[in-house]
Amino acid sequence: MRIIHATDYDDMSKRAASYILERFKDIHTIGLATGGTPKGLYEQLIPFLQKQDLTNMHTVNLDEYVGLAPEHPNSYRQVMNKLLFNEVDIPLANTHLPNGVASDLEEECKRYEALIHFLGVDLQILGIGENGHIGFNEPGVDKNSKTHIVKLTEETREANSRYFKQREDVPTHAITMGIQTILASKEIVLLASGEHKAQAIYDMVHLEPNPTCPASFLKHHKNVTIIVDTKASVKLT
Ligand code: F6R
């Protein structure tokens, strides 16, 4: 696990963007995350991506809420369209997320897992939850998990309620890539900013891989880089 230290959110976003751009020619499929953490990274990447031919590029997102149709403003599909896809010239058909309103959600998980393996993820971007989750792989997750349906913890629903009108509107379940799905990517870059992430970063770096901190399973991967700002890395020193 390589650690790149950044001063603050802005610096973390810029360092993450340069890291990705250095590898850009080798990235055909990129794994994306939503949430507040990668927003600045996407902003940094947009001017560059606007000049690229993205016809053959594919994106796969980590997760989607169960019960929110792709048109719902809080669906991760809409979030990604707004943050990135509408800003660059990528065919929307190449941008993939699980379908949270599929009639058969188990089948949808299988379809998404197969798609990810078919495309092969060259680089996966991750954020981290305060409880150490990656994607929506909450504490207790099986290290062999593939794309699956999860019940969100109340802590995660609370953290994500800032994007919804009221807390009750936050879905209770989501479809997420599993730990194995994430570990199958060739390279992983995890970003973290802010003191509220400091304990999760400490646990990820110092604990033996174990389900109480799902991000600790990243130790099973050979090519992981974490880009953390001063506040998120305060417990590391
Ligand atoms: C988002 C995702 C989550 C977030 C995590 C951190 O697609 O998979 O694991 O990365 O909840 O969220 P923020 O960045 O909002 O602190």
Please give the structure tokens belonging to residue 211: 């389900």
Please give the structure tokens belonging to residue 32: 């994306």
Domain encompassing residue 38: 2-193
118-166 pLDDT, tens digit each? 999 999 999 999 999 999 999 999 999 999 999 999 988 998 999 999 9
Residue 208 lies in a domain: no
Residue 216 lies in a domain: no
Would you say the CB of residue 135 lies under 6 angstroms from ligand 1? yes
- CB-based contact 178:148 (threshold 8 Å): yes
Q: Which of 32, 34, 162, 199 to mutate to test the pocket of ligand 1 (most atoms within 8 A of CB)?
A: 34
This prediction has a pTM of 0.97
Distance CA 57, CA 24 (A): 11
**Residue 103 pLDDT level (bands cut at 50, 70, 90):** very high
Which is it for strands 58-61 and 95-96: parallel, antiparallel or unpaired? parallel
Residue 204 lies in a domain: no
| Rg of the chain over all Cα atoms, to the nearest angstrom | 16
Q: What is the mean pLDDT of residues 205-227?
A: 97
Q: What is the ipTM of this complex?
A: 0.99
Would you say the CB of residue 33 lies under 6 angstroms from ligand 1? yes
> In total, how many domains does the chain have?
1
**Residue 86 pLDDT level (bands cut at 50, 70, 90):** very high
Residue 75 lies in a domain: yes
Distance CA 137, CA 211 (A): 9
Which atom of ligand 1 is closest in space to residue 197's alpha carbon?
16
Q: What is the mean pLDDT of residues 77-84?
A: 98
Residue 11 lies in a domain: yes
Taking the centre of ligand 1 as the mean of its atom positions, its distance from the CA of residue 137, in whole angstroms, is 10
Distance CA 154, CA 229 (A): 26
**Residue 54 pLDDT level (bands cut at 50, 70, 90):** very high
Contacts (Cβ under 8 Å, ≥6 apart) of 151: 138, 172, 173
Residue 233 lies in a domain: no
* pLDDT at res. 232: 98
Residue 236 lies in a domain: no
Would you say the CB of residue 95 lies under 6 angstroms from ligand 1? no
Residue 160 lies in a domain: yes
CATH of residue 180: 3.40.50.1360
Percentage with pLDDT > 70 across the chain: 100
Position 237 pLDDT exceeds 90: no
* pLDDT at res. 132: 96
